Amino acid sequence: MNSRNLQWLEAEYTRRSFLRRVGGAGSGLALFGAGGTVWAAEPTSTTGPGALQETPFPVGKDVDSLIRHSGLTFETKRDAFGTSTIVPYERLFVRNNLPTPDRALVDDRNAWTLSVEGVARPGILTLVQLKALEVVTVATVLQCSGNGRAFFEHEASGSQWGVGAAGCVIWSGVPVRAVAEAFGGVSRGARFVTGTGGEELPEGISPDDVVVERSIPLEKGLEDAFLAWEMNGEPLPLVHGGPLRLIVPGYFGINQVKFLRTLAFTPEESSAAIMQTGYRVRPIGESGDPNQPSMWEMSVKSWINHPSGDGPMRSGRVMVDGVAFGGMRGVRRVELSVDGGTTWQDAPLIGPNLGPYAWRQFAVPVTLERGTHLLMSRAVDDAGNVQPADRLENHRAYANTSWRDHAVTVEVE
Ligand SMILES: Nc1nc2c(c(=O)[nH]1)N[C@H]1C(S)=C(S)[C@@H](COP(=O)(O)O)O[C@H]1N2
Ligand SMILES: [Mo]
């Protein structure tokens, strides 16, 4: 089997949660059987005006700030990012390939164990022990590979994310390098750092078909990847991978393995489907192949958050704001167009610079007269790379950075 299983799982989950909601056959059905990790066991948020009793938003999420694509995928609305750089837990997007593990996972965080392989002396460390090794605090953009998929035209399967499968978050954790050193150093021949998620896997399917296991180049892993237990000042929430998660600054979301159980220094990339054939950039209609580019490094991108284009506006002065990031490097500047990309003006960066992996926000006041306006932003990274006008067409609709696609249409009355 191949990575199609992941889509099957999501579709199957959505079907079953629907059956559960309407109380028909399959009511209360556990996707993975007894003792399994069942989304149905996840407490749901039912407060707030937009809350629906039967919509399983992860606990504590602000239902008015999120778009629910499925029981496993929640997107931040364009107008819910605000202008203070960090996206709080309540508004941060969620993307799970598998059902979120049971809350029991975070009952005793410090007892969580991490198995370390491909080092001189393989072994296990508890979270308490990891916390005593070394600590770094880093702000990064967490972004799903499929963010911007909704703007592709070939009807790629998967969540139809607009701009909101992304957020800027501050993490604390221990460098991968320090963990390797604690076990006597990386084994000879290792070329990758491979992280394995801690979800319970369904029976009767080969683990490789469903496990969330990803590899990144060893140099990157030793340079600045780390294992995080804290997010935005709080113990890492369960839906975001608590108790422990791999963070690879500047890389796409899929590499940020949640519920990290194993950290291995390996000679080859993981044999998991999501590494071998999934998360590969490939021409439309072609199947996944290990020779195609893997979804690793992100590149320069920006978009406008306000005005969001939802509903008509009054004519006059309006503050246009949005976010910009370089992916693997900082942002040099951002430009704004209010005439569909014909002319551009400078969009000053506001707020703190939290390092090359964080996003910057920009804000520029403009005056909009009555009529229809097409607004867009275009960022340039520290190396001079310019955000492109057009997306790279690809089968899975990944890595959309097109400034045209991310434009907002504003009706002014
Ligand atoms: N263990 C595990 N890690 C995972 C996933 C998952 O399903 N399981 N999803 C990945 C994907 S595709 C993305 S985009 C990010 C989403 O992170 P978030 O849910 O914290 O926003 O986590 C990644 N890490
Ligand atoms: Mo993702």
Atom of ligand 1 nearest to the CA of 260: 1
Decide: 60 and 237 in contact? Cβ < 8 Å.
yes
Going from the first residue of the chain to its last (413 residues), give the mean pLDDT of each consecutive group of 10, the final group possibly shorter.
33 36 30 27 38 66 96 96 98 94 94 97 98 98 98 96 98 98 98 97 94 98 98 98 98 98 98 98 96 97 96 95 98 98 98 98 98 98 97 97 98 96
Identify residue 57 by its one-letter amino acid code.
F
Atom of ligand 1 nearest to the CA of 97: 7
Sheet containing strand 192-197, strands side by side = 123-126, 113-117, 260-266, 192-197, 213-217
Ligand 1 neighbour 37 (Cβ under 6 A): no
> What pLDDT was estimated at residue 276?
98
Decide: 347 and 380 in contact? Cβ < 8 Å.
no
Which ligand is located closest to the Cα atom of residue 166?
A: 1
The domain locations on the chain are 3-276, 301-412
Query: How far is the C-alpha of 189 from the C-alpha of 83, rounded, in Å?
Result: 46
> Under CATH, which number does the domain 3-276 receive?
3.90.420.10
The neighbour count for residue 266, using CB atoms within 10 Å, is 18
For strand 260-266 and strand 113-117, is the pairing parallel, antiparallel, or unpaired? parallel
- Whether the full predicted model's pTM is greater than 0.85, yes or no, is yes
Which ligand is located closest to the Cα atom of residue 253?
A: 1
What's the CA-to-centroid distance between 85 and ligand 1, angstroms?
Answer: 21
Ligand 1 neighbour 358 (Cβ under 6 A): no
What are phi and psi for residue 220, nearest 5 degrees?
Answer: -65, -40
Tokens 């399917």, residue located: 205
Peptide linkage before 307 cis (omega within 30 of 0):
yes
> What pLDDT was estimated at residue 47?
42
Query: How far is the C-alpha of 12 from the C-alpha of 28, rounded, in Å?
Result: 14
DSSP state of 184: T
Ligand 1 neighbour 324 (Cβ under 6 A): no
> What pLDDT was estimated at residue 33?
25
> Which are the contacts of 316, defined by CB distance < 8 A and separation ≥ 6?
367, 368
Q: Which of 94, 97, 246 to mutate to test the pocket of ligand 1 (most atoms within 8 A of CB)?
A: 97
Which ligand is located closest to the Cα atom of residue 6?
A: 1
3.40.390.10, 2.60.40.650, 3.40.309.10, 2.60.15.10: CATH of 301-412 = 2.60.40.650
